[in-house]
């Protein structure tokens, strides 16, 4: 469930700056305007998983304006998504140098570094984004920082980040799911039960979320509820890996 995505804040800002480009400010050249339009299109194609089209637009954006920070950061996201890691850091570093105040770039770069097991560097970037008073999507950075800490077995730190995100938005599905998963990892099964129920109140069941709840109910000894959840999993997601794992609990 931890797919790489472009933050909403980035897309909103892309639309904003494209609008500014179209206003005809005297200091902007036609190439700069065209680059902004192409990076917006590239980001939208990437969000829709149309990777070849995204690549074409982002390459064009960088050709038109090599100093376009968002073109570099969005290209980094694309390269990460297709597994071409050799140039990801170069694009992120260039984006950071061109626009050091952009917290979306810090957040996305931190997520990448965490996925590369560079925890301390990632946490520094997350903290910079979280502490930015003008950053519109603090909760995204908080959840990413929490997931990064959880994946590095820093469970207390993960819980602090995720609880802070939920104080800002108690119905934030990604934070609720992450708290439930954190309960499994840290063996706090009552916490898992509470948060996975809250998650299912705001999001559809998935094979993964049902499997989290099943494991919590098994650990808590509620075999009746566990059996009902396994039945639901088998009905809704009969071909999932989680359905196979769940059947192993009742054999």
Q: Which of 48, 66, 100 is the last residue of a domain?
A: 100
Name the packing angle between helices 173-185 and 207-220 (round to 10°): 40
Residue of 101, 24, 97 whose CA lies nearest to 66: 97
Instruction: For residues 171 and 165, give the distance between their C-alpha atoms in angstroms, rounded to a whole number.
Output: 10
Domain count, the chain: 3
Q: Which of 51, 72, 100 is the last residue of a domain?
A: 100
* Segments forming the whole domain that contains residue 15: 1-100
Summary mean pLDDT of the chain: 90
Same domain, 2 and 48: yes
Residue 143's pLDDT band, with cuts at 50, 70 and 90, is very high
CB neighbour list of residue 54: distance below 8 Å, 6 or more residues apart: 42, 43, 45, 46, 74, 78
Tell me how long the chain is.
251
In a 13 Å sphere around the CA of 156, the CA atoms on its Cβ side amount to 0
Contact 242, 211 (CB under 8 A): yes
Question: Is 174 contained in some domain?
Answer: no
Model pLDDT for residues 50-101, shown as the tens digit of each residue: 999 999 999 999 999 999 999 999 999 999 999 999 899 999 999 999 999 9
Report, as an integer, the average pLDDT of 135-146. 95
Question: Is 246 contained in some domain?
Answer: yes
Instruction: For residues 19 and 94, give the distance between their C-alpha atoms in angstroms, rounded to a whole number.
Output: 24
Report, as an integer, the average pLDDT of 126-140. 94
The pLDDT value recorded for residue 3 is 45
Instruction: For residues 142 and 148, give the distance between their C-alpha atoms in angstroms, rounded to a whole number.
Output: 10
Same domain, 160 and 250: no
CB neighbour list of residue 179: distance below 8 Å, 6 or more residues apart: 159, 162, 163, 166, 191, 195
Q: What is the CATH number of the domain that holds 45?
A: 1.25.40.10
Instruction: For residues 204 and 131, give the distance between their C-alpha atoms in angstroms, rounded to a whole number.
Output: 32
Residue of 106, 110, 132 whose CA lies nearest to 121: 110
Question: Is 12 contained in some domain?
Answer: yes
Same domain, 162 and 196: no
Predicted confidence (pLDDT) at residue 18 exceeds the cutoff of 90:
no
SS (H, E, C) 144-203: HHHHHHHHCCCHHHHHHHHHHHHHHCCCCHHHHHHHHHHHHHCCCHHHHHHHHHHHHHHC
Same domain, 44 and 134: no
Same domain, 136 and 204: no
Question: Is 175 contained in some domain?
Answer: no
pTM: 0.82
Same domain, 158 and 185: no
Report, as an integer, the average pLDDT of 216-223. 96
The pLDDT value recorded for residue 247 is 86
The pLDDT value recorded for residue 24 is 52
């Amino acid at each position: 469930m931890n797919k790489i995505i472009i933050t909403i804040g980035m897309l909103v800002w892309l639309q904003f700056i494209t609008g500014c480009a179209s206003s005809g400010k005297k200091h902007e050249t036609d190439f700069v305007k065209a680059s902004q339009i192409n990076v917006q299109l590239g980001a939208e194609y990437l969000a829709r998983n149309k990777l070849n089209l995204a690549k074409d637009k982002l390459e064009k954006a960088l050709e038109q304006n090599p100093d376009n920070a968002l073109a570099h950061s969005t290209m980094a996201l694309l390269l990460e998504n297709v597994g071409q890691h050799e140039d990801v850091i170069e694009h992120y570093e260039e984006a950071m140098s061109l626009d050091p105040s952009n917290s979306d770039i810090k957040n996305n770069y931190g997520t990448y570094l965490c996925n590369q097991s560079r925890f301390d560097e990632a946490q520094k970037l997350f903290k910079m984004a979280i502490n930015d008073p003008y950053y519109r999507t603090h909760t995204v950075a908080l959840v990413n920082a929490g997931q990064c800490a959880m994946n590095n077995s820093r469970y207390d730190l993960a819980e602090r980040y995720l609880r802070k995100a939920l104080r800002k938005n108690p119905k934030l599905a990604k934070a609720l799911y992450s708290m439930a998963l954190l309960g499994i990892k840290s063996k706090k099964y009552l916490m898992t039960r509470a948060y996975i129920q809250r998650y299912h109140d705001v999001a559809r069941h998935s094979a993964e979320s049902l499997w989290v709840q099943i494991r919590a109910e098994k650990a808590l000894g509620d075999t009746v509820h566990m059996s009902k959840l396994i039945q639901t999993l088998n009905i809704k997601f009969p071909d999932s890996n989680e359905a196979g794992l769940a059947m192993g609990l009742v054999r």
